[in-house]
Amino acid sequence: MSDAAEFPVTDAVQQALAITRRGVDELLPEAEWVKKLARSAATGVPLRIKLGLDPTAPDIHVGHTVVLNKMRQLQDLGHQVIFLIGDFTSLIGDPSGRNATRPPLTKEQIQANAETYYAQAKLVLDPARTEIRYNSEWSEPLGAAGLIQLASRYTVARMMERDDFTKRFAAQTPISVHEFLYPLMQGYDSVALKSDLELGGTDQKFNLLMGRHLQQEYGQEPQCILTMPLLEGLDGVEKMSKSKNNYIGITEPANTMFAKILSISDVQMWKWFELLSFKSLGEIAALKSEVEGGRNPKDAKVMLAKEITARFHSAQAADAAEQDFNNRAKGGIPDDIPEVQLTGAPMGIAQLLKAAGLVASTSEGLRMVEQGGVRRAGEVIADKGLKLDAGEHVLQVGRRKFARVVLS
């Protein structure tokens, strides 16, 4: 790398560094990143910034957008963003954070998932300034001889320093040899792309450092690495994950997205602001000060929910979602309730609630009526023996279950 004296650290470079640092867990080595920024500012040559995602599931949730948001910030600074789809590495399966071997996906599963990945990522990244790559481009031509040569550039002892491998080895949990190939192949992606910076979650640090090591092995300037915190899901405890059902998908309906964000805790809200909001840190600090001074924290949470909902839908959709949420809170009728067609009029209220999927059994339906938890068109039903005639009936059970029942 060229000497820092050749490329002065200007105010613009300092500002770019501040944008880079926002919300990150680690930026390593920071001094090298400053030199890269200064060189780019002086020469006008954008830096190459890489993010790799294995299409292990077909949908992206807001936890994924923590890293995507950072990519967009760096993209807006004028740098070249590379969105790498790990179609080859998905065949191996990433062992990061695993206490057992991750089952590899089939090529058909990977292709099906990859088709939706970038379409969703475009909701965050600027597609006109994003380079899309698949790591099968260089991994498949590598062949057996190339893979053996690559494997010779790292030791088993160093590989076993990886935390999840260490724990599994100590617990005598099987580790397949092919799992050692994953960090090597991810690191080789950085060699193939000549990346200046690679981003990932905190659980990816070992893999990101592998990229630095292999670039040096192949005579390249090593990339810097940037790790972002893992976003806790709606439960406020576990990492956001579809498997834990604590997620918000970025293609979920606006009303659902808005309501889910409103369900997070007041404490958790501030981490979401820092990692997901596009407001400046100064704006967030001022808002937090207002809440600490007595302003209702729900006001801030509504701002966050509307900002994120508008990003993936529209400002109009966010306004409508807020109105829908308020209607539900007041016992009103939301706009997007499911419609159910039933036959058998007249039908007893408990039987109808079960047939419409609003309760699990007729006995639960009767119990909900007894407790005053059933409404028709907003009015409480108190008669357990009520029979509904043919026609349309808007029913509500509890605060959140609704159905428009067309009975014939």
| Separation of alpha carbons 213 and 188, rounded Å | 10
- pLDDT-derived band of residue 332, with 50, 70 and 90 as boundaries? low
Angle subtended by helix axes 315-329 and 254-262, to nearest 10: 60
- pLDDT-derived band of residue 333, with 50, 70 and 90 as boundaries? low
For residue 166, the model assigns a pLDDT of 80
For residue 370, the model assigns a pLDDT of 77
| 270 and 162 co-located in one domain | no
The total of structural domains in the chain comes to: 3
| 318 and 343 co-located in one domain | no
Average pLDDT over residues 243-251: 85
| 64 and 159 co-located in one domain | yes
pLDDT exceeding 90 applies to what percent of the chain? 44
| 93 and 211 co-located in one domain | yes
| 71 and 103 co-located in one domain | yes
Average pLDDT over residues 334-344: 80
Using the 3D structure, point to which of 274, 306, 329 is the last residue of a domain: 329
- pLDDT-derived band of residue 290, with 50, 70 and 90 as boundaries? very high
Using the 3D structure, point to which of 329, 350, 382 is the last residue of a domain: 329
* CA 78 to each of CA 47, 166, 247: distance values in angstroms, whole numbers, following the listed order: 8, 40, 31
What would the pLDDT profile of 205-244 be if each residue is shown by its tens digit?
988 999 999 999 999 999 999 999 989 988 888 888 877 7
What would the pLDDT profile of 54-111 be if each residue is shown by its tens digit?
877 667 899 989 999 999 999 999 999 999 998 888 877 655 554 444 566 777 888 7
* CA 81 to each of CA 37, 84, 269, 331, 372: distance values in angstroms, whole numbers, following the listed order: 15, 9, 29, 47, 56
| 40 and 121 co-located in one domain | yes
CATH code at 32?
3.40.50.620
CATH code at 383?
3.10.290.10
Q: Is residue 248 part of a domain?
A: no
| 318 and 374 co-located in one domain | no
Q: Is residue 69 part of a domain?
A: yes
Q: Residue 4 pLDDT more than 50?
A: no
Q: Is residue 249 part of a domain?
A: no
Q: Residue 274 pLDDT more than 70?
A: yes
| 195 and 306 co-located in one domain | no
For residue 308, the model assigns a pLDDT of 96
| 61 and 204 co-located in one domain | yes
For residue 16, the model assigns a pLDDT of 96
Q: Residue 404 pLDDT more than 60?
A: yes
| 19 and 49 co-located in one domain | yes
For residue 1, the model assigns a pLDDT of 46
| Separation of alpha carbons 143 and 289, rounded Å | 58
Q: Residue 266 pLDDT more than 80?
A: yes
Look up the domain containing 365 and give its range.
339-407
Average pLDDT over residues 7-27: 95
| 16 and 104 co-located in one domain | yes
Cβ neighbours of residue 219 under 8 Å, at least 6 residues apart? Answer: none
Average pLDDT over residues 250-270: 90
Q: Residue 335 pLDDT more than 70?
A: no
Q: Is residue 239 part of a domain?
A: no
| 269 and 287 co-located in one domain | yes
Q: Is residue 154 part of a domain?
A: yes
Kindly report which listed range (285-299, 302-316, 337-351, 388-402) carries the lowest average pLDDT score: 388-402
For residue 141, the model assigns a pLDDT of 94
* CA 176 to each of CA 168, 189, 227, 295, 404: distance values in angstroms, whole numbers, following the listed order: 11, 22, 27, 54, 53
Q: Is residue 237 part of a domain?
A: no
CATH code at 287?
1.10.240.10
Q: Is residue 234 part of a domain?
A: no
What would the pLDDT profile of 164-192 be if each residue is shown by its tens digit?
778 877 888 887 777 788 889 999 999 99
| Separation of alpha carbons 232 and 63, rounded Å | 8
Q: Is residue 244 part of a domain?
A: no
Average pLDDT over residues 45-57: 88
Using the 3D structure, point to which of 213, 228, 243 is the last residue of a domain: 228
Question: Average per-residue pLDDT in the chain?
Answer: 86
